[in-house]
């Protein structure tokens, strides 16, 4: 449809504009039972509540008993670190736990170019922001006339960083992972971790295929709901009141007009997504080609065709074909 195209809506002429696209999307959303938390607005409504975030983080870090996180402080998502030629970062959810862990939780619906580099760059900004805030808390109120003891303490903590953990929930295949969860850190060639203060936990929802009856942990419960809410007519609360409240927050009938409008904006193509589509067109990559190739691979696997033959005809890498095979074997 070209920009010159005209549509009549409630007696009003509307061009093929973002406003028109948003109105169409709003009408679609109102027919659904739940807002889809794989998009920013509903994701934040679903998970940025402090009780929900505590439950989610305890699940992510597999914490139990006295080791559980008791409380978190949800912080401003704006990052004040500015990189030349790079847009200002605004995180999805940023929080600090009662024991001083700095947490960033990101929902990524579409795979951006240079995804790994984006994770690293964004985390670098998050780390610098967290370091700045730690210093502000530690040395707030110090006068300019410092004692030798105060100067010595400041020097001893000059390069101290707080633990910073990035959690990325991705609705696309992570090529580097062979499971739905990957925990990444900075390690040497022997696999020794240089610091436990920086970690990346990346979830690949395309590989999370557990049915409801097999869900056992808090981690699995939250992932199940995130993955299925957008297409479900009934979500289980697993007998957990915190989860039940989170589900109620994304009920379409409970959503405020503001939340609905924010959800619409997050579902209509952003400038970044339009840039990505333009890049695909410039590279001559046809949208849907990868999906068709994966569907072909799936059909060939069901016909018990050999892996090398599937790779030859679909042009998919061995690793992707094996991923599809593993998902079929689980069913």
For the stretch 5-50, pLDDT in tens is 334 444 444 445 667 778 888 899 999 999 999 999 999 999 989 9
What's the CA gap between 102 and 107, in Å, rounded?
17
Strands 72-75, 93-97: pairing kind? antiparallel
CA separation, residue 141 to residues 132, 137, 138 (Å): 15, 9, 9
Lowest mean pLDDT among 38-52, 138-152, 175-189, 222-236: 138-152
Three-state DSSP class for residue 147: coil
What's the CA gap between 105 and 174, in Å, rounded?
17
| CA torsion angle 119 120 126 130 (round to 10) | 140
pTM above 0.85, yes or no: no
Please determine, for residue 284, whether its predicted confidence score (pLDDT) is greater than 60: no
What's the CA gap between 301 and 32, in Å, rounded?
34
Q: Tens of pLDDT along 70-85?
A: 999 999 888 877 665 5
What's the CA gap between 59 and 61, in Å, rounded?
6
Please determine, for residue 301, whether its predicted confidence score (pLDDT) is greater than 50: yes
pLDDT at 12: 42
Q: Which of 149-153, 228-232, 302-306, 322-326 has the highest mean pLDDT?
A: 228-232
- Give one word for 304, left, alpha or beta, with left for phi > 0 and alpha for psi -120 to 50: left
Q: Which residue has the higher pLDDT, 240 or 111?
A: 240
Q: Which residue has the higher pLDDT, 144 or 197?
A: 197
- Which of 65, 260, 61 is closest to 166 using CA atoms? 61
Residue 312 pLDDT level (bands cut at 50, 70, 90): confident
Contact between 103 and 167 under an 8 Å Cβ cutoff? The reply is yes
Sign of CA pseudo-dihedral 110, 114, 119, 122:
negative
Residue 84 in tokens: 């030349």
Helix (H) or strand (E) holding 93: strand 93-97
φ, ψ for residue 23 (rounded to 5)? -65, -45
Residue 152 in tokens: 């010595």
pLDDT at 184: 95
């Amino acid at each position: 449809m070209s920009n010159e195209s005209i549509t009549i809506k409630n007696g009003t002429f509307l061009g093929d504009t973002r406003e028109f696209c948003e109105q169409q999307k709003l009408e679609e959303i109102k027919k659904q039972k739940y807002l889809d938390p794989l998009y920013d607005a509903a994701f934040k409504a679903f998970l940025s509540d402090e009780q929900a975030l505590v439950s989610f983080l305890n699940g992510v870090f597999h914490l139990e008993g006295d080791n559980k996180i008791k409380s978190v402080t949800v912080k401003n998502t704006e990052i004040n670190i500015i990189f030349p030629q790079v847009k200002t970062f605004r995180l999805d959810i940023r929080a600090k736990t009662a024991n001083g862990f700095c947490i960033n939780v990101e929902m990524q619906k579409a795979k951006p170019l240079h995804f790994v580099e984006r994770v690293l760059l964004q985390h670098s900004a998050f780390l610098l922001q967290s370091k700045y805030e730690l210093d502000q808390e530690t040395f707030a109120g110090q006068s300019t006339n410092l004692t030798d003891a105060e100067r010595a303490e400041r020097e001893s903590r000059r390069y101290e960083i707080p633990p910073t953990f990035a959690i990325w929930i991705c609705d696309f295949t992570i090529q580097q992972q062979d499971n739905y969860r990957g925990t990444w850190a900075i390690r040497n060639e022997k696999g020794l971790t240089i610091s436990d203060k920086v970690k990346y936990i990346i979830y690949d929802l395309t590989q999370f295929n557990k049915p409801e009856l097999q869900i056992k942990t808090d981690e699995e419960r939250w992932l199940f709901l995130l993955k299925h809410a957008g297409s479900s007519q009934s979500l289980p609360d697993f007998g957990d009141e915190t989860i039940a409240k989170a589900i109620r927050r994304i009920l379409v009938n409970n959503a405020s007009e503001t939340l609905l409008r924010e959800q619409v904006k997050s579902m209509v193509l952003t400038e970044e997504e339009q840039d990505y589509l333009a890049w695909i067109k410039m590279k001559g990559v046809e949208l849907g080609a990868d999906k068709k190739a994966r569907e072909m691979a799936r059909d060939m696997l069901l016909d018990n065709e050999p892996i090398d033959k599937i790779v030859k005809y679909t042009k998919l890498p061995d690793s992707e074909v094996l991923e599809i095979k593993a998902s079929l074997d689980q069913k």
